[in-house]
Amino acid sequence: MTHTEGMLREGALKGKTILVTGGGTGLGKSMGIYFLKLGAQLVITSRKLDVLEKTAKEMENETGGKVLPLACDVREIDQVEKMWTDAVSHFGRVDVVLNNAAGNFISPTERLSTNAFNTVLDIVLKGTSNVTLTAGKYWIKEKQSGTFLNIVTTYAWTGSGYVVPSAAAKAGVLAMTRSLAVEWAKYKIRSNAIAPGPFPTEGAWSRLLPGDLVKKFDPAKKVPIGRVGDHQELANIAAYLVSDYSAYVNGEVITIDGGEWLMGAGEFNNLDMIPQEMWDMLEASRGKKA
């Protein structure tokens, strides 16, 4: 048994239709493939229909499941509402929404144009609220239960320089997750989040480690466990949180980062750099009066 293997039992998501925003690439694609393997039907949505259609075919060939690709810019409420109606009329219902679509890039904040800042806020925060409102209103009206899973990141609570619009937006998504977990529980709608640390994807790496940065900053070095994440270990948590096994988990954010954010937070964690010989000397000199 290893962390690169699927964790849930066969058929754990049978009968569920799951909508994944940003489902054509990266982590959304990996989580979607695992949902299909566990018996779910899938709707994948993002701006690029060609990418979605190619991914949908790949996913169906790999898993034998059913995948509906739908183009939709989550910033545009008209497109979101149409996408939702198309998804529901195709599969009859949608049980789970995975808010995974995001936009991000690194930049000193003072170099950002207003449009640059707003673009990230619009995709991450407003995109998530557009999809959440559309799905939530529908589930409440139809008296149908539902599950939200939102992908944030650890700087949703620590904040982070150089990705300020993303940090502000992810903090908003986390607040929305916790708020709706309480407000909509009475409608049998659960809301949870996952905060991943570094997981290699083309989308994230090309924007967060552009050019030569990828050679200079090895993300694994910031992780106490000493490696980056494997997509399957994220997919395992996601599958659990959208399944009925987690029926009593509501308003939670699960961090999966190998201890990365705590390493940066603990006052004395950098004492890792002290070699054993120096600890030996310090120990030997303990108690000796000067």
Nearer to ligand HXC, 38 or 204 (CB): 204
Between residue 130 and residue 159, which ones bind ligand HXC under the rule CB under 6 A? 153
Catalytic-residue membership of 162? no
In single-letter form, the type of residue at position 184 comes to W
- Smallest gap from Cβ 74 to ligand HXC, in A, equals 11
Nearer to ligand NAP, 26 or 172 (CB): 26
**Token pair of 80 as six digits:** 């979101």
What are the start-end ranges of the E strands in the chain? 17-21, 41-46, 67-71, 96-99, 146-151, 189-196, 253-256
Buried b (16+ CB within 10 A) or exposed e, 27-42: bbbbbbbbbbbbbbbb
> Contact, 123 vs 99, CB < 8 A?
no
Is 180 buried (19+), middle (13-18) or exposed (0-12) by CB count in 10 A? buried
Query: If binding is defined by CB under 6 A, does position 46 make contact with ligand HXC?
Result: no
Nearer to ligand HXC, 118 or 144 (CB): 118
> Contact, 103 vs 119, CB < 8 A?
yes
Token match 């393997």: residue? 37
Query: If binding is defined by CB under 6 A, does position 172 make contact with ligand NAP?
Result: no
Name the residue number minimizing CB distance to ligand NAP: 203
Rg of the chain over Cα atoms, rounded to whole angstroms, equals 21
Between residue 87 and residue 106, which ones bind ligand NAP under the rule CB under 6 A? 100-103
Nearer to ligand HXC, 93 or 207 (CB): 207
- Smallest gap from Cβ 271 to ligand NAP, in A, equals 27
Say how far apart CA 209 and CA 214 lie, in whole Å.
5
Query: If binding is defined by CB under 6 A, does position 166 make contact with ligand HXC?
Result: yes
Query: If binding is defined by CB under 6 A, does position 126 make contact with ligand NAP?
Result: no
Say how far apart CA 5 and CA 38 lie, in whole Å.
13
**Choosing among ligand NAP, ligand HXC, none, which partner's interface includes residue 188 (Cβ < 5 to 8 Å by kind)?**
none
> Contact, 190 vs 249, CB < 8 A?
yes
Query: If binding is defined by CB under 6 A, does position 153 make contact with ligand NAP?
Result: yes
Which of the residues 34, 138, 155, 248 is marked catalytic?
155
| Binding mask of the shown chain, residues 96 to 135, with x at each position contacting ligand HXC by CB under 6 A | ------xxxx-x----xx-xx--xx---------------
**Token pair of 130 as six digits:** 């557009």
Residue positions annotated with a catalytic role? 155
Binding interface with ligand HXC (CB under 6 A): 102-105, 107, 112-113, 115-116, 119-120, 153, 166, 198, 203-204, 207-208
Binding interface with ligand NAP (CB under 6 A): 21-22, 24-28, 46-48, 51, 73-75, 100-103, 123, 127, 151, 153, 196, 198-199, 201, 203-204
